[in-house]
Each structure stands twice: as C-alpha cells, then as structure tokens.
Amino acid sequence: MKPRILIVGGAGYIGSHTVLQLAHAEYDVVVFDNLSNGHRDAVLAGELVVGDLADRVALANLFAVHRFDAVMHFASSIQVGESMQQPARYYANNVGNTVHLIEAMIEHGVQRLIFSSTAAIFGDPIRIPIDETHPLQPVNPYGWSKSMVEQILADCDRAHGLRYVALRYFNAAGAHPDGLLGERHDPETHLIPLVLQAAAGRRTHIGIFGTDYDTPDGTCVRDYIHVQDLVDAHLRALQWLMQGKPSAAFNLGNESGFSIREVIRVAEAVTGQRVVVQNLPRRVGDPAVLVAGSSYARAALGWQPRYPNLHDIVQHAWLWEKKCTPPL
C-alpha cells in the first residue's frame, strides 16, 4: 500500500504545492483544510476534507476513517503585523489548534509530524547567516507561537515518541514553474507578489518601509527560497522520518540575501514594466538582514535548492500572476 499522508492546510500556498508533489511521488494524500485562507481549486490531487483543527470531533472522525503514516502541518496564521494586534487569536490558532492535532495523532498512534516553522523564531539576529544554533528570541506573537509549538513537539517526543521535523522557512516565494499554482493570499503581504501586482497595474505603487538600514542600498535584505525547493525539503523530511531517524529542526534558505530594491529591479527586468516606489518609514520589528545558514539541511537531508536564482523565482511568480490575476 502507498503511504498515506495527511496534509493539514493543503489548500494553501505551500501546502498545495506539496500535495501535488507528493501525489507525483506516489503517496496517498488526504487534505484537511477549513478553506479560510486556502482554495478548493488549489487541491490538484488527493482527497479534500473540509474541516477545522478547532473542531475536535471532525479531527477524531478524520483519524478514525483514515490510517495515516505521517502528517504535514501547514495551517497557521502568518501575518506578523496582525499577530501584534490580535495575539490571542494567533496563540489560539497556531498553538491551541496544533495541540488538538498532536493529541489526535497520539490517540491514534500516528508518530510522524512535519511542522512548518519560521525564521521569525530567531527575532533580531545576533549573527548572519542564521543557523540552527542561533538563540530563539522571537519579537512578535507569530514568532512566539511557532517557537512554542517547537517546544511542545520536543516535549511530546520525550513523552510519547512523537517524532517530528520542524522546517524553519525564511522568505517563501515563487510559484509552480508550469504555472499550475502560486500565491493567493488575501490580503497579500509578501513582497514579490506585491511588486508584481504593481508591475501588472493592479497596484499604483509598492511601498518600501525604511531606506536607511545598514545594507548596501539602505533597504532590508531577505533570503528568498523558492516554494518548490521548500516542497523538496518536505519530501526529504518525510523520508527522514520514515527511515526511523530522530526528531530534528532545519533552517531552509538559499544562504544569500537580496534587498527590496534588488527585488524590484529584477521584477522590472522580468516584466518589462516600471514599478512605482513610495519610500515609507521603517516598520517596528523589521531586522535589517535575515539570511539563512542551511548547511545542516543540505548535509543531513541531501537537500539542494534547484531555484536559488532570484530571476527564476520572480519569473515563475510572474507566470502565475499573468495567468490568474490579470490587470484590472
């Protein structure tokens, strides 16, 4: 029998890409998603079960009907600014609902979990690049919520033998190279789709929050990692757990950073359109530079990004933008 994998949040951006790749790799996939941020038509393979992690009865029914070999958990609230305004909501969804999932897994004997974590658990970095030994010092409820789940997972490993891999994304970006899937956040908060929407005429301009950072051009530098490379890391993490290896946490990035102005210049080159820029004051809590050290994932998982070039990342995102969101 094919291994059966539960994908929680599989109708969302990274989850939907992972569902498709798992199906191509001959896994049996079940998606559990409340469709609050995901899209039914983004689930291109497997079975979709519409439900919410807050609903313990729905979870119990899901695990009673299916025997899962592993779970991948993508479902969470992800907007840093919103987490500052609604911290209780973020802890309830990202922590409380994850506990519901963990309890259902333990009750039904499912002992492998891949968790979508984030570079936000590191807060303001004390050194660059940021590797797994960097102190965890979140500066917002979103980062704290992910850090808390990592601690809960470690405790459940010791208490119940629940083995996990926490994958700490830096800046997820891009789209499926064939234009099948891409970003559809509402509201959109990620830089590359915002810039492309400005290039397409769907926005009048793109705002740059802070132009006086200690970086080569004064704007923030980030490590952009292609969504398909994140998907590959998930499949490798799944193989890691299926082989009986221990729980682990991996930072995922290209180990190179690009400034906001660099992203805009590449977007203009890809689209052939000028992007109007508005310089704005800094946002509270934005570090000047966030770049991953991902040598551990490369060594342990054999992971190697296929699309480290910013031009490829933007080009794939532009293909999706033109296909699914034409200019207004």
List the catalytic residue out of 142, 169, 213, 224. Answer: 142
Is residue 230 within 8 Å of 169, Cβ to Cβ?
Answer: yes
Three-state SS string over 61-98 comes to HHHHHCCCCEEEECCCCCCHHHHHHCHHHHHHHHHHHH
The beta-strand segments (E) located in 10-123 are 28-33, 47-50, 70-73, 112-118
Q: Token digits for 46?
A: 């497997």
Q: Is the dihedral of CA 159, 162, 165, 171 positive or negative?
A: negative
CA–CA separation, 120 and 72 (whole Å): 20
The answer to whether 142 is a known catalytic residue is: yes
CB atoms within 10 A of CB 280: 11
Nearest residue to 234 (alpha-carbon basis) of 116, 67, 76: 116
Nearest residue to 2 (alpha-carbon basis) of 22, 17, 21, 18: 22
User: Which residues does the annotation mark as catalytic?
Assistant: 142
